[in-house]
Amino acid sequence: MSSARTVQLYDTTLRDGCQGEDVAFTLEDKLRIAERLAAFGMHYVEGGWPGSNPRDAAFFTAVRALRLGRTRIAAFGSTRRPGVTCGADRNLRMLLEAETPVVTIVGRTWDLPVTRDLRIPLEENIELIADTIAYLRSRVDEVIFDAEHFFDGWRAAPEYALACIRAAAQAGATLVCLCDTRGGSVPDHVGAATAAAAAAITAPVGIHCHNDADLAVANSLAAVAAGAAQVQGTINGIGERCGNADLCSIVANLQLKLGYECVAPQALAELQTLAHFIDELANREPAKNQPYVGQSAFAHKGGLHVAAVQREREIYEHVDPALVGNRQRVLLSDLSGRSNLVYKAREFGIDVDGKDPEVRALLDELKDLESRGYQFEGAEASFELLMQRALHGYTRRFRLIGFRVIDEKRVEREPSMSEATIMLEGPDGATEHTAASGKGPVEALDRALRKALIKFFPEIDEVTLLDFKVRVLGSDGGTGAVVRVLIESGDAHDRWGTVGVSSNLVEASWQALVDSLDYKLYKDGRARAAAARKASSAAAPEHDAATSAARGGGES
């Protein structure tokens, strides 16, 4: 490695992250996350609080069987209770039973919580800190002291806050982590307080920020600049209230902007994959506008921007997206110019000239559709079909003759049922007439459509509907307002989005459903054609050699 300064990464997704609203990990989830974080190169992974719940206790037993390389597992707990010796404290006993190489202990460093919450004298709180650290340090490889409310304490009573962390360091803490527990500090204050703490003790200091003022990442970077050797946070910033410092942004900023070393470059290139993995297990929709790893982080919509990034990426992109595992995207909307269409066409393998009249006509059609409520930013499959029709005359392989949907509710207290009938013409001109029922009109329509098509196209059975969203476009029309339906579909290899717009919800859903199945047929046909071309080109040299040999050719 180079001489660049290394900053330790301490992940608390499995403890602090679990305190976020609507975030819940199973034991299996936590073990999978621990393995993934270790593969990424996280220096420390905090597994939870052994004395707080059976799941965390079970985690510390199960995690011993995992191969985590150099990643160190930490157990989290608090200082001994007032009036109880360390040896008799159940919390400390559970921490030792976790048998982790690292124990992180939280203790108060602000006088207000000591006197109002713990309701003990200030000196007794310092004794709790020193006793606990010394007791654990003689039994555990590393003991990290989380100085709770340190920045509030340093503002209100700086000498007392410093006295608390001195006691921890003198008792043997291997690192003192300064916590912005309320998340309300600002970078200048964090930087000054971190510098004061680093000067006051011999142990290294770390930083742990919450995001209540939307400054957790900025505060963490300010602390590193002031001397912090470790940064604590969570993947995607999940956590209690407004969340914790987002390690995705922190590691990218430290490594790409400030020249620190945190993880290997090849690991950093897996950052987006890691972020989405955590969101998936947390059952959260990934934030599109999340810096570095979000789907929109390197997306360009305005025509001038697209034209510029095609000439020089750096004009509108502050880093190369590939460094964090992301990619450049061009969006299509009524703000699009010819550059957007040419970019998207090339992305789909279509070579076009921006000066072609077909491109101008497609751009006009796109803007007309968006003025009526269509949106292709999340429905690129619908756009690709639209582009293929406009530029290459692509036609759907089946034709709708008609459909009917009936909703029926027979008993007030029972759910209604829907039935859909569909008549369509297949690729051979044969007519197929099918019916299906469902819990609602869209499900009934989807089932009937698949039933009708599967006779002609068995691969339709591979398609799964992954997401279905309805958006009302303006409320002026009341119950007759225009709605936009976005559908995400997928098979074993890909995911794709399609869109439909109408003042009739069933009609809008039909448009998006048909596009989703039509796109499956289109992309599979494209893949077969590419495979055939590859096989043909591979066979050509063998044919030429055989012909040459038959004519007496070969080496002399």
Q: Note the pLDDT of residue 48.
A: 95
pLDDT band at 473 (very low <50, low <70, confident <90, very high): confident
Tokens representing 215 are 């400054």
What interhelical angle do 158-170 and 187-200 show, nearest 10? 50
Kindly tell me if the per-residue pLDDT of 468 is higher than 80: yes
pLDDT value at residue 59: 95
SS (H, E, C) 473-540: ECCCCHHHCEEEEEEEEECCCCEEEEEEEECCHHHHHHHHHHHHHHHHHHHHHHHHHHHHHHHHHHHH
Give the global pTM: 0.69
d(CA 263, CA 41): 6
End-to-end CA distance of the chain: 54
Provide the sign of the torsion angle of the four alpha carbons 225, 272, 100, 151, taken in this order. positive
Tell me what the mean pLDDT of segment 190-203 comes to. Answer: 98
The string of pLDDT tens digits covering residues 74-123 is 999 999 999 999 999 999 999 999 999 999 999 999 999 999 999 999 99
Residue 1 pLDDT: 41
Residues in the chain: 556
pLDDT value at residue 337: 55
427 vs 457: CA distance, rounded Å: 10
Cβ burial, residue 48 (10 Å; 0-12/13-18/19+):
buried
Q: In this predicted structure, what is the pLDDT of residue 276?
A: 87
**What are the sequence ranges of the domains in the chain?**
8-263, 299-385
The dihedral built from the CA positions of residue 316, 319, 323 and 326, taken in this order, carries a sign that is: negative
Rounded mean pLDDT, 36-41: 96
Q: Pick 394 or 476 by higher pLDDT.
A: 394
Is the pLDDT score of 553 beyond 50? Answer: no
Q: Give the separation between CA 468 and CA 499, rounded to whole angstroms.
A: 10
| Mean predicted confidence (pLDDT) in 303-330 | 79
Q: What are phi and psi of 410, to 5 degrees?
A: -90, -35
DSSP lists the bridge partners of residue 206 as: 177, 230
The whole-number pLDDT of residue 475 equals 60
**Per-residue pLDDT for 198 more than 50?**
yes
Output the pLDDT for position 477.
Answer: 61
Q: pLDDT at residue 227 above 60?
A: yes
Q: Is the pLDDT reported for residue 235 higher than 60? A: yes
* pLDDT above 80 (res 303): no
- Lowest mean pLDDT: which of 177-181, 267-271, 381-385, 427-431? 381-385
Q: Tell me the helix, strand and coil percentages in the chain, rounded to 5.
A: 45, 20, 35
Better pLDDT: 145 or 411: 145
Report strand pairing: 102-108 vs 72-78: parallel
How far is Cα 131 from Cα 129, in angstroms, rounded to an integer? 6
Span 244-250, average pLDDT:
98
In CATH terms, 8-263 corresponds, of 1.10.340.30, 1.10.3720.10, 3.10.180.10, 3.20.20.70, to: 3.20.20.70
Q: What percent of the chain has pLDDT above 90?
A: 63
pLDDT in tens, 330-382: 765 544 555 666 665 666 555 666 567 777 777 777 767 777 777 776 678 88
Q: Which of the pair, 170 or 354, is modelled with greater confidence?
A: 170
pLDDT value, residue 476: 63
pLDDT above 60: residue 546: no
Local confidence band at 552 (pLDDT 50, 70, 90 cut-offs): very low
- Quick one: pLDDT band at residue 125, thresholds 50, 70, 90? very high
Question: Mean pLDDT score of the chain, rounded to an integer?
Answer: 88
User: Which DSSP state fits 190?
Assistant: H
Q: What is the pLDDT of residues 479-516, one digit of tens each?
A: 678 888 989 899 888 889 899 999 999 999 999 999 99
Give the amino acid at 360.
Answer: R
Determine the pLDDT at residue 537: 76
Tell whether the model's pLDDT for residue 469 goes beyond 60.
Answer: yes
Range ranked top by mean pLDDT from 130-144, 299-313, 415-429, 526-540: 130-144
